[in-house]
Amino acid sequence: MGLRIGIREGIRTITRNSSLFLLSLLVTSISLFLLSLFVLVTVNLYHAVKLLDEKIEIIAFLDDHANVQGLMKNISKIKGVNDVIFISSEQALKDLQNELKETEEVLNVFEKNPLPASLRIKLEHTFRNRKGLSEISNKVMLLQGVKETIYGGELVDQLKKITNMISAFDAGLLIIIIFSVIFVIFQTIKLTIFARSTEIEIMRLVGASNSFIAIPFTFEGIIQGALGGIIAFLLTAVTVRITTSIVSVVYFPRLYFLAGSIIFGAIFGIIGSSAAIRRFLR
């Protein structure tokens, strides 16, 4: 019965103090929107890093008479190799022609196709670093039919260092923003609770338990957080739409963002209201 009355009291407060609730909802929505934007930037950063990471590979150029099938089989067996793709010399020329569409005549100076056949060797995640690349490259070089291998050793390491640094900075900033958002929500909920201090005093006076007193405020916190999350999601969706018209691709998993905004909004609402009400319960 306590829960039912608590929820009813929460609804009563929302409807009777609607202007205060709307003001507090506005602050919550803007805070969650800022957090959502930052998460969006972070997600896109990680997405870009992942795409870059997947591009780390070894290219092995082959002799004219190399046994392609045998080589592919042997390379696949090397520890750390994920996939091996054969690129024939004709395919390589075609790819180059596509890339150099506007300066196609450059290739006409050659009487015959100068590009060798090659194998693109994709690596497992843990081998996508300088050490892993050189280790696998050395093993591939030992195989008969392989003329040369290339990979961006030092560049890969530099890239990893930079992305790791950015990621750490980003994670630190994210934690600060999360705490700031909780603090802002806590402060706004505290204001609404202050406005109802007589009600809390009377509840304590007549012998309501602390958990009973907290229910309406927690319920209000959940509603405020969840609604704030939905509004923040809509604002983020609009921002993404505007951004995609300027920058070509923005990674925005809608469903995850919607669910995340609602769930985290509600959790922040619970944390904020519990912390705020605690000050009134002695």
Partner 1 sequence: MIYKDEEPTKGTVKVMGQNLRLLKKKDLPKLRRKIGVIFQDFKLLPDRTLEENVLFALEVTDTPPRNMKKKLMEILTYLRLSHKKYSFPYQLSGGEQQKVSIARALVRDPYILLADEPTGNLDSRSSQDILDILLDINYKGTTVIMATHNLNVVKKMKKRMLRIENGELVKDK
Instruction: Tell whether the torsion through CA atoms of 106, 111, 117 and 118 is positive or negative.
Output: negative
Among 43, 52, 72, 208, binds partner 1 (CB under 8 A): 208
Question: Does residue 209 belong to the site contacting partner 1 (CB under 8 A)?
Answer: yes
- Which residues touch 158 (CB under 8 Å, ≥6 apart)? none
Quick one: which segment of 71-79, 86-94, 134-142, 196-204 binds partner 1 (CB under 8 A)?
196-204
Quick one: which segment of 35-43, 131-139, 151-159, 200-208 binds partner 1 (CB under 8 A)?
200-208
Question: Does residue 205 belong to the site contacting partner 1 (CB under 8 A)?
Answer: yes
Q: Closest approach of Cβ 3 to partner 1, in Å?
A: 11
By the 8 A CB rule, do 181 and 268 touch?
yes
Written as one letter, the residue type at 239 is T
Question: Does residue 172 belong to the site contacting partner 1 (CB under 8 A)?
Answer: no
- Which residues touch 267 (CB under 8 Å, ≥6 apart)? 225
Among 206, 246, 247, 255, binds partner 1 (CB under 8 A): 206
Round to whole Å and give the CA distance between 113 and 119: 17
Question: Does residue 65 belong to the site contacting partner 1 (CB under 8 A)?
Answer: no
- Which residues touch 43 (CB under 8 Å, ≥6 apart)? 251, 252, 253
Binding residues for partner 1 restricted to 4-23, rule: CB under 8 A: 5, 16
- Which residues touch 167 (CB under 8 Å, ≥6 apart)? 45, 46, 49
Tokens of residue 138, six digits: 């050395």
Given the structure tokens 């995340």, which residue do they identify? 260
Quick one: which segment of 47-55, 111-119, 136-144, 193-201 binds partner 1 (CB under 8 A)?
193-201
Quick one: which segment of 35-43, 184-192, 206-214, 219-227 binds partner 1 (CB under 8 A)?
206-214
Q: Among residues 15 and 69, whose Cβ is nearest to partner 1?
A: 15
Q: Closest approach of Cβ 206 to partner 1, in Å?
A: 4
By the 8 A CB rule, do 189 and 273 touch?
yes
What is the contact surface with partner 1 in residues (CB under 8 A)?
Answer: 1-2, 5, 16, 198-199, 201-210, 212-213, 282
